[in-house]
Amino acid sequence: MLRPTLMAAALAVAMPALSANARADENLDALRAELKQMKESYETRIQALETRLQAAEIQANQAAHTADKAVQAADQAEIQAQRASAQAAPVEGTAPASRLSQFNPEISLILQGQYANLDGNIENRNITGFLSPGDFEASSGFSIAESELVLSASVDPYFRGYLNAALDPDGGVGVEEAWAETTALGHGFTVKAGRFLSALGYQNTQHPHAWDFATNNLMYDAAFGGAYTQNGAQVKWVAPTDLYMEFGAEFGNGDSFPSTTSTGLGDYTLFSHFGGDFDVSNSWTAGLSYLYGKAHDRESGMADLNDVWADTYFNGNSTNWIANFVWKWAPQGNPTERYFKFAAEYFWRDERGNLLCADNTAAGGVCNGTDSAYSSSQSGGYLQGVYQFMPHWRVGYRYDRLNDGDYNFGANDPYLPVYDYAPTANTVMVDYSPSEFSRLRLQYTQNKSMIDISENQFFVQYIMSLGAHGAHKY
């Protein structure tokens, strides 16, 4: 009886313990399940966060790419705007107050005046070794320089017009530009017709008030008599690429030096311009242009072997190449405080035909009216830099050099001198622009464009823009 009783007692004691162990196992299983659930939940949340992070990174990269595209597009737009004729504010860049005012002409007046102090009154100013267009007159004293009256407007949604009338310092008014241009051809094409400054080179499209110096460079004086103007038509195309690419052609009468045919199709020009960014602070443009012209009794002049002025008349062909490069720097692309601009152009000219040296024996000369074969191969260019070192203030330097190259006067060799001389000029300037509509400038030039003459030239200049004329960077 004792043994069964002990077994019953042992079972009674063990049953609660077994029951407690079972409950503990159930609790552990529940904890494990809860931990597993929490782990899965956290992993799901972490995965979701990683997915959102990746999406944010993709969006950020896309935004950066879009911003780069926008910067490039803006720079390309600026490059194209800088090539706008006469530096006038384009109609589409304004914000008209009404539909009616959109078609009203914008009128502006550019006033220029200067005081010049030259070494002396040199007669028959010219560039030694170059058959340039006549006498480059210059004298000391006050003058109003060349002022301009400009009208510009949209004709309708398809055309716009532009007129630039130059007020000559000696009196009189000349039409410098008068043209109509398409605005809605699309696909990057534009057509212009009338009288306009050719798009060849870099500086040629700029009017004098937009120059960085008070005087022209020797290259443009020798090659084009100041600037090359076209009476004809222009077609150009801007490529739809990230790199700015512009290609164009011009056809005209050829009545601007070095062409002087004036009737029919006398010349044609081919030009190309490229531009882009090195980075956010540096941009560039470059170009290559070709000009072919025909000359008929093109008048020039030079001193003969007796040092007596002789008029010359050229009939023949003139082939010209022009290369240009411009680099601009501004911190983070903002030129308000500081910026630097470097510009360089170079030209090559080859001419073939006949040259007549007018009879000047009555004045003591040796030319007797001989008309003979003539050929020349000449070149030249300039380098210039302008630095804005603080708001409103700029300094600049320009170096000009021409190479008289090879030229042959044929039967006129006994009458006309053949020089071995490279005309040069060194120019420094400082200017102050209280606003984008006014500028005051002081300039010094050491001019050695004529053999055996080194002339010191000082200029004080003012430029004022009245009316709707677009603001220039300062």
**Separation of alpha carbons 446 and 453, rounded Å:** 10
Closest CA to 338 of 280, 389, 386: 389
The DSSP secondary structure of 57-108, one letter per residue, reads: HHHHHHHHHHHHHHHHHHHHHHHHHHTSGGGPPPGGGS--SSTTGGGSPEEE
In the chain, DSSP finds a helix count (H) and a strand count (E) of 2, 17
User: What per-residue confidence (pLDDT) applies to 38?
Assistant: 76
User: What per-residue confidence (pLDDT) applies to 41?
Assistant: 72
Does residue 235 sit within a domain?
yes
Does residue 182 sit within a domain?
yes
CATH of the domain at 422: 2.40.160.10
Does residue 337 sit within a domain?
yes
User: What per-residue confidence (pLDDT) applies to 208?
Assistant: 93
**Separation of alpha carbons 296 and 461, rounded Å:** 37
User: What per-residue confidence (pLDDT) applies to 100?
Assistant: 42
User: What per-residue confidence (pLDDT) applies to 346?
Assistant: 98
Does residue 264 sit within a domain?
yes
Does residue 190 sit within a domain?
yes
User: What per-residue confidence (pLDDT) applies to 7?
Assistant: 53
**Separation of alpha carbons 203 and 227, rounded Å:** 8
Q: Give the pLDDT confidence of 136-151 residue by residue, as tens digits.
A: 677 788 988 888 999 9
Does residue 307 sit within a domain?
yes
**Separation of alpha carbons 298 and 255, rounded Å:** 10
**Separation of alpha carbons 231 and 195, rounded Å:** 4
What is the domain range of residue 225? 83-467
Q: Give the pLDDT confidence of 149-176 residue by residue, as tens digits.
A: 999 999 999 999 999 999 887 778 889 9
Domain count, the chain: 1
Token digits for 89?
């504010």
Percentage with pLDDT > 90 across the chain: 62
User: What per-residue confidence (pLDDT) applies to 86?
Assistant: 36
Q: For 422, phi and psi rounded to 5 degrees? A: -115, 105
Answer positive or negative: Cα dihedral of 240, 243, 244, 247. Answer: negative
Cis peptide bond upstream of 258, omega within 30: yes
Instruction: Give, for 220, the enclosing helix (H) or strand (E).
Output: helix 218-224
Token digits for 272?
């190309």
Does residue 200 sit within a domain?
yes
Q: Give the pLDDT confidence of 368-404 residue by residue, as tens digits.
A: 999 999 999 999 999 999 999 999 999 999 999 999 8
Does residue 63 sit within a domain?
no
**Separation of alpha carbons 179 and 373, rounded Å:** 38
User: What per-residue confidence (pLDDT) applies to 22?
Assistant: 54
**Separation of alpha carbons 474 and 460, rounded Å:** 18
Cα-Cα-Cα-Cα dihedral of 306, 309, 314, 319, to 10°?
90
Regions of the chain with pLDDT less than 50: 1-2, 6, 10-11, 18, 82-101, 471-474
CA distances from 423 to 260, 270, 350, 446, 458 (A): 25, 28, 18, 11, 19
Residue 172 has a CB neighbour count (10 Å cut-off) of 8
CA distances from 332 to 67, 283, 335, 390 (A): 14, 11, 9, 16
User: What per-residue confidence (pLDDT) applies to 262?
Assistant: 64
